[in-house]
Amino acid sequence: GRGSAAHLEKVEAPGSMLTHTAARALAVLRISTGFVFLWAFFDKTFGWGFATPSARAWINGGSPTKGFLSNVEVGPFDTFFHNIAGDAWADWAFMLGLLAIGAALILGIGLRIAAGAAVLMMAMMWAAEWPLDKTTTTGEPSMSTNPLIDYHIIYGIGAVVLALTYAGHTWGLGKWWAALPIVQKNRWLI
């Protein structure tokens, strides 16, 4: 029951459930996934020329959501996404989400909150790409490679797995974070 879950939260990784190799593999997955989120944040903020050219960087007045959401051409939520494309609140929510999820994953702290936020963000992005449709609203192929499970779903599941396996304890600040009095009193902060 609950006693065993509380015990797991205090166990030193890799603990009795994970081998050292598995704990290290999870740490690599955690840091790599965090880097994906942080890279997107920095590229969209500074326009490093990968997904975002300098002229469209957030610091140069560009919108991190306008281009993508304005071009949504699939699914039942296309009008919703068009309506919020470029809104300041949507830009800030998206960018703060990328930064917070990426930082939490790389540092190995707050993984439960980061996992919840990643699932929400990835679900919204999945809905925007709506891989269930074979064609766009204009009749063009949607280029969906799988109608159900795509990289958004994998990132969301991965974030949950990382939180549930205390992946922040290996090569991260997870042990230190879990020992903080506020985290001890509020286990959802793990």
Q: What is the pLDDT of residue 1?
A: 46
DSSP state of 147: S
Predicted TM-score of the model (pTM): 0.89
Residues 6+ apart with CB under 8 A from 127: 75, 77
Q: What is the pLDDT along the chain (190 residues), one digit of tens a residue?
A: 445 555 556 656 555 667 899 999 999 999 999 999 999 999 999 999 999 999 999 999 999 999 999 999 999 999 999 999 999 999 999 999 999 999 999 999 999 999 999 999 999 999 999 999 999 999 999 999 999 999 999 999 999 999 999 999 999 999 999 999 999 999 999 9
DSSP state of 17: T
Q: Computed over its alpha carbons, how large is the radius of gyration of the chain?
A: 19
Neighbours of 110 (CB within 10 A): 23
What are residue 141's DSSP bridge partners?
135
Q: Phi first, then psi: give them for residue 106, nearest 5 degrees.
A: -65, -45
